[in-house]
């Protein structure tokens, strides 16, 4: 199990499973393109202080399970991953440049699912525990 990460003023454990695909689901992520794509995603994550916990570069889509800092929004993370990898893959592989002549390598959008190790019941119990102050007063409840 991964430990919580710390920043100068925070403790966090933000994890997400992200999926996106090539435009038209063309199976172009093979061979050298697949290896280079993996390397570009790793480099981008290192620069952004994002830890790749697991990841797969399939023939026509990407799966990433990552831990990311709270200073980075999920949409910004995906924008940077897709943008940099598309730009460099299209520059480096002429066969991709011919196929994606419009310059759009990845399909529009992405899927993202938060990943956690806490159930609704555990969260409910935790919040109920903190509902009442020691002197019998109730804390302000947001519902």
The string of pLDDT tens digits covering residues 50-83 is 999 999 999 999 999 999 999 999 999 999 999 9
Residue 124 domain flag: no
Residue 41 domain flag: yes
Return the closest-CA partner of residue 58 out of 79, 34, 88. 34
Residue 132 domain flag: no
The residue range of the domain holding 69 is 5-116
CB 107 within 8 A of CB 22: yes
* Spatial separation of the C-alpha atoms in residues 110 and 82, rounded to whole Å: 10
Instruction: Tally the domains of the chain.
Output: 1
The string of pLDDT tens digits covering residues 18-62 is 999 999 999 999 999 999 999 999 999 999 999 999 999 999 999
* Spatial separation of the C-alpha atoms in residues 24 and 107, rounded to whole Å: 7
Residue 61 domain flag: yes
pLDDT given at position 116: 78
Residue 82 domain flag: yes
Residue 72 domain flag: yes
Residue 143 domain flag: no
CATH number assigned to the domain comprising residue 23: 3.30.70.1290
């Amino acid at each position: 199990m991964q430990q919580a990460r710390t920043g100068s003023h925070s403790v966090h454990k933000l994890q997400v499973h992200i999926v996106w695909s090539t435009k038209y689901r063309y199976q172009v992520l093979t061979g050298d393109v697949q290896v280079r794509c993996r390397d570009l995603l790793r480099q981008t994550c290192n620069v952004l202080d994002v830890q790749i916990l697991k990841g797969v570069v399939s023939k026509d889509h990407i799966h990433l399970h990552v831990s990311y800092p709270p200073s980075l929004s999920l949409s910004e993370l995906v924008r940077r991953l897709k943008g940099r990898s598309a730009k460099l893959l299209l520059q480096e592989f002429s066969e991709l440049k011919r196929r994606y002549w419009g310059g759009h390598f990845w399909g529009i959008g992405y899927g993202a699912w938060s990943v956690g190790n806490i159930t609704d019941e555990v969260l409910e119990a935790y919040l109920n525990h903190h509902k009442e102050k020691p002197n019998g007063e109730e804390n302000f409840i947001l519902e």
